[in-house]
Amino acid sequence: MKYYIYLIFSFISFGQVAFAQETIKTSTKSIDVIHLFSAGNKVEWAVPISKNEKILLQWEERNTSFTQSEGIRSFVGYHDKNLVAVISILNSTISGNIRWKDKEIVLKTSEDGFLILYTESSNHKCGTCANGHCHTNEPSTKRPVLLSDSDSPTPSIPNTNVLRVYRLAMAISYEYFSDTSIIGFSSKVEEVKKFWATREMELNEVYTRDLGIRFEVVKDEKLISKQKDEISNKSASYIINNGTRIISSKIGEKSYDLGIYIAKVTEVAGLAYLENVYKTEKAAAVALVSRPVIMHEIGHLFGARHTFSITSPSRPQIDPASDKTEMSTGQSIMSYGYPRDFFSLRSIQMIREKLVNVPYFSDTNRTQKVGNHPSVTNFPYGIAIQNQPPTIDKTKIKASYKIPKETFFQFYIPAQDPESKSLLYAAHQTDIRPERQASNARFLTRKATSSNPVVFQTEYSERTRNEMANTKPNAVGTFTFWLGVSDAQPQQTSDYISQYDMAQTQVIIEEGIPFKITSSMKNNYKGGEDVQLNWSVDSKIFDKKTSKVRILLSDDFGKTFKYTLVASTENDGSHTVKLPNISVNTIAFGEQKWNVNAGIIKIEEIDGIAYALTTFDPKVGGFTITRDPSLPKILTFTKTPEASLSVSCDAIPNANNSQFETSGCDLVNITHIDTKINGSCANTYTIKRIYTATGCDQSISFEQTIFVRDDKSPVFKEPLPTNISVEENKIPTQVDLTATDNCSNNVQVIKSKEEKEENGNRVIIYKWEASDECGNKATHTQKITVIPSEINFVGELPKNMMVTCEKEIPPVPTLKVSGNCNPKVVYNGETKSNEKCENDYELTRYWTATNDCGKSITHTQIITIKDDVKPVFSGTLPTDISVEENNIPTQVDLTATDNCSENIQVTKSQEERQENGNKVIIYKWEASDECGNKVTHEQKVTIKKSSQPTPPTGGVQPPTGTESTKEMIVYNGVSTESGSENYLKIEPIENYKNLQIEIFNELGQKVYESKNYQKNGEVFRGYANVKGVFRKGKRLPTGTYFYVLKYQNITGKSNTKQGYLFVR
Domain segments of the chain as ranges: 4-143+155-384, 513-631, 636-709, 715-787, 791-866, 872-943, 969-1063
Residue 9 makes CB contacts below 8 A (sequence gap 6+) with: 126, 127, 128, 130, 138, 236, 268, 269, 270, 271, 272, 297
Nearest to 357 by CA among 369, 371, 343: 371
Parallel, antiparallel, or unpaired for β 881-883 and 934-943? Answer: parallel
Q: Specify the pLDDT at position 646.
A: 81
What single-letter amino acid sits at 969?
Answer: I
Rounded CA-CA distance 862/586 in Å is 110
Q: CA 579 → CA 2, 525, 598, distances in Å?
A: 59, 8, 14
Region class of 1039: left (phi > 0), else alpha (psi between -120 and 50), else beta = left
Q: Specify the pLDDT at position 949.
A: 46
How would you label 363-388 residue by residue, b for 16+ Cβ within 10 Å and e otherwise?
eeeeeeeeeeeeebebbbbbbeeebb
Q: Which fold has domain 513-631?
A: Immunoglobulin-like (2.60.40)
66's enclosing H/E stretch is helix 65-70
Task: Output the DSSP codes for 782-845.
Answer: EEEEEEP--EEEESPPPPPEEESSGGGPPPPPPPEEEESSS-EEEEEEEEEEEEEETTEEEEEE
Would you state the torsion angle of the CA atoms of residues 248, 254, 256, 262, taken in this order, to the nearest 10 degrees? 0
**Cβ pair 475, 124 in contact under 8 A:** no
Q: Which CATH number fits domain 872-943: 3.30.2000, 3.30.450, 1.25.40, 2.60.40?
A: 2.60.40
**Cβ pair 336, 315 in contact under 8 A:** no
Rounded CA-CA distance 711/176 in Å is 54
Q: Is 4-143+155-384 CATH 3.30.565.10?
A: no
Q: Specify the pLDDT at position 131.
A: 36
Alpha helices (H) along 287-344: 291-301
Residue 331 makes CB contacts below 8 A (sequence gap 6+) with: 337, 338, 339, 340, 344, 444, 445, 446
Q: Specify the pLDDT at position 122.
A: 52
Phi first, then psi, for residue 332 (nearest 5°) are -90, 180
Rounded CA-CA distance 216/373 in Å is 24
Q: Specify the pLDDT at position 820.
A: 81
Rounded CA-CA distance 640/659 in Å is 6
State the Rg of the chain over Cα. 55
Residue 498 makes CB contacts below 8 A (sequence gap 6+) with: 208, 209, 210, 211, 212, 486, 487, 488
545's enclosing H/E stretch is none
State which residues of the chain have pLDDT below 50.
1-20, 126-152, 947-965
CATH architecture of 715-787: Sandwich (2.60)
**Cβ pair 384, 431 in contact under 8 A:** no
Rounded CA-CA distance 521/729 in Å is 94
Its sign, for the CA torsion 53, 193, 8, 355, is: negative
Nearest to 47 by CA among 14, 73, 79, 10: 79
**DSSP letter (8 states) at residue 535:** B
Q: Do domains 4-143+155-384 and 715-787 have the same CATH topology?
A: no
Q: How deeply is 490 buried, as exposed, middle or buried, from its count of CB atoms within 10 A (0-12, 13-18, 19+)?
A: middle
- For residue 991, the SS3 value is helix
Partner residues linked to 739 by β-bridges: 716
Residue 958 makes CB contacts below 8 A (sequence gap 6+) with: 951, 1042, 1044, 1056, 1058
Assign domain 969-1063 to a CATH class: mainly beta
Rounded CA-CA distance 656/670 in Å is 10
Three-state SS annotation for 469-485: CCCCCCCCEEEEEEEEE
Q: Specify the pLDDT at position 409.
A: 98
Phi first, then psi, for residue 181 (nearest 5°) are -75, 180
Q: Is 636-709 CATH 2.60.40?
A: yes
Rounded CA-CA distance 38/686 in Å is 45
**Cβ pair 784, 725 in contact under 8 A:** yes
Largest CA distance in the chain: 190
- If one counts every other C-beta atom within 10 angstroms of the C-beta of residue 989, the result is 14
Nearest to 427 by CA among 401, 463, 389, 461: 401
Q: Specify the pLDDT at position 945.
A: 63
**Cβ pair 790, 761 in contact under 8 A:** no
CATH architecture of 791-866: Sandwich (2.60)
Q: CA 957 → CA 139, 638, 1023, 1026, distances in Å?
A: 117, 166, 21, 18
Partner residues linked to 857 by β-bridges: 849
- If one counts every other C-beta atom within 10 angstroms of the C-beta of residue 602, the result is 22
